[in-house]
Amino acid sequence: MIKTYWWRIIILLAVLFFVVADYFTYCEMSMRRCFWNGDIYILRTIFHLSVPILISSIILFLTSDNIFKKWIKFAIGWIFVSLIAIAATPEYGGGFLDPDREQVSIWMSSLFLIISIILMIVWSVKERNKK
């Protein structure tokens, strides 16, 4: 149990460091610039993915080790799928049905957060019912 708490702390601190560093450097202390500013860069894509991971990792401190291990596997898989989807999207889109990289990045990040919270709730309920 102690090992997974160290991993939770490391993930939380690493993501928090990246979000704060990106906010003060690239985003020039403007959240609007971090989310919706013209060209998409790899830093903004990672920023979009880091915010839901930060929120999820805070919630993970309230869960058990088994749920954390399941979530970390899900998160790693989701990050790879997101990066592939973002890389396969054109840099400049033509609207809602033809999204650009920034829209895909924001949507994948939002879906990650929603799915993570739902999975943590479902896994917690299943774990309680087993006991």
* pLDDT, tens only, 83-112: 888 888 777 666 656 677 777 888 888 899
Q: Which amino acid is at 51?
A: V
Task: Give the range among 32-36, 84-88, 102-106, 120-124 with minimum mean pLDDT.
Answer: 32-36
Per the structure, the count of domains in the chain is: 1
* Residues of the domain holding 39: 2-130
Model pTM greater than 0.85?
A: no
Q: Given a cut of 70, is residue 49 above it in pLDDT?
A: yes
Q: Given a cut of 90, is residue 34 above it in pLDDT?
A: no
Cβ within 8 Å of residue 19, ≥6 positions away: 47, 50, 51, 54
Cβ within 8 Å of residue 35, ≥6 positions away: 44, 47, 48, 106
Q: Which amino acid is at 68?
A: F
Q: Which tops the pLDDT comparison, 82 or 30? A: 82
Task: Give the range among 25-39, 66-80, 82-96, 98-112 with minimum mean pLDDT.
Answer: 25-39
Task: Enumerate the H helices of the chain as residue ranges.
Answer: 2-24, 31-35, 42-60, 65-88, 101-130
Q: Given a cut of 80, is residue 126 above it in pLDDT?
A: yes
